[in-house]
Amino acid sequence: MSGTRPEPAGNPVAHALQLARETLPPMHPAGRPFVAGGVAATLLARRFSKRLGLVGALATVATAAFFREPKRVPPPRDGVALASADGLVSLIEEAVPPAELGLPAEPRMRVSVFLSVFDVHVQRVPANGVIERVAYRPGKFLSADLDKASDDNERNSVLMRTEDGHELVVVQIAGLVARRILCEIREGDKVGAGATYGIIRFGSRVDLYLPPGSRVLVAKGQRTVGGETVIAELPALSEG
């Protein structure tokens, strides 16, 4: 009898471990020191009180969940910009990109996604392309869902050029609780759509600036899935 034989069910423990690996998302490396510290604190607290040990264990699990980095599969579509973050679309409006990128001071359509402390906090590349500039600017720590957070808060801005020649700007913005922005890409890097490029710790916002002529496909109040949700269709570039 031809065909693929099912794997023998003789090792339920190995099967359960395999299911766990496929179900539980991996953790971003930035979270390892925090989780390791939580484990150490939990073991120490347990020596004095089982209740404190339980609290420490729950806090450690919550920390590991915050730094989760689930696998994402970008849609097989060309000419689109994907969501760079999980969260809630809080603003769709025209705005001038961050001045530190050196772009013309002309408004572009901006889609802002707000991340609560319960959302996945890694940021993902919105399209295939090359990183042209990365610029960090210190600032305030206002609540990330406020309009002026884009202008006043600490931020890290990335300018990339897609394979089709479009300019996309992605901005990581710190929030009321977030105090650390991590960006792992550099100028000249070739990047793939949906790949993780950074993380913001504990509540934040991510702005995506689109080229003129883009057609936004999300609505305010909609939830996005980083690396999978299509934010906009990019305009066709004229030849010649």
79 sits in the region (left: phi over 0; alpha: psi -120 to 50; else beta) called left
User: Angle at the Cα of 100 (from 96 to 224), degrees rounded to 5?
Assistant: 55
Partner residues linked to 190 by β-bridges: 130
User: Angle at the Cα of 114 (from 232 to 28), degrees rounded to 5?
Assistant: 95
What is the residue type of 213?
G
- Mention every residue, 6+ apart, whose C-beta is less than 8 A from residue 149: 142, 143, 173, 175, 205
Instruction: Provide the H-helix boundaries in the chain.
Output: 12-23, 32-46, 50-66, 149-152
Report yes or no: 185 and 108 within 8 Å, Cβ to Cβ: no
Phi and psi at residue 183, in whole multiples of 5°?
-125, 125
Distance separating alpha carbons of residues 129 and 122, to the nearest angstrom? 19
157: annotated active-site residue: no
Structure-token match 């990365």, residue found: 134
Partner residues linked to 130 by β-bridges: 161, 190
Considering the candidates 143, 204, 214, 238, report the single residue annotated as catalytic. Answer: 204
Tell me which residues are annotated as active site: 204
